[in-house]
Amino acid sequence: MQIIDVNQAKLHLPELIEQTMSGDDIVITQDGKALVKLVALVKPGKKIRQFGGAEGLVIMSDDFDAPIEDFKEYMCCGHYSTQAPFYGLSAAAIN
């Protein structure tokens, strides 16, 4: 991180912008106190993520949402209870 006085920053703004685009952060000061931090909005070499970029890389099995034997005690009436906030309890037991 480079620290530079506001008067020097006025004289060298184009160069400071180039430095931030290459990844450096710059703090501009006045009377020895930090005023602003100059940073690039897009970091160098950082790719912008694209929706659907992992399409085809994740594969789920056909029984992905099938009940799991280890969770039988949390099940109600042979299936997961979605009527109550606590799985395994009926809505009547909570109300």
Digit-coded pLDDT (tens) for 40-91: 887 666 677 788 888 888 888 888 888 788 877 776 665 555 554 555 555 5
Q: Is the pLDDT of residue 92 over 60?
A: no
Cα separation, 32 vs 27, in Å, equals 11
Average predicted confidence (pLDDT) for the chain: 79
Q: Is the pLDDT of residue 31 over 80?
A: yes
- Name the nearest CA neighbour of 39 among 6, 82, 1: 1
Q: What domains appear along the chain, each with residue ranges and CATH number?
A: 2-38 (3.40.1620), 67-95 (no CATH)
Q: Is the pLDDT of residue 33 over 90?
A: yes
Cβ atoms of residues 35 and 6 within 8 Å: yes
Cα separation, 56 vs 69, in Å, equals 29
Please tell me the pTM assigned to this model.
0.45
| H-run or E-run covering 34 | strand 33-38
Comparing 95 with 38, the larger pLDDT belongs to 38
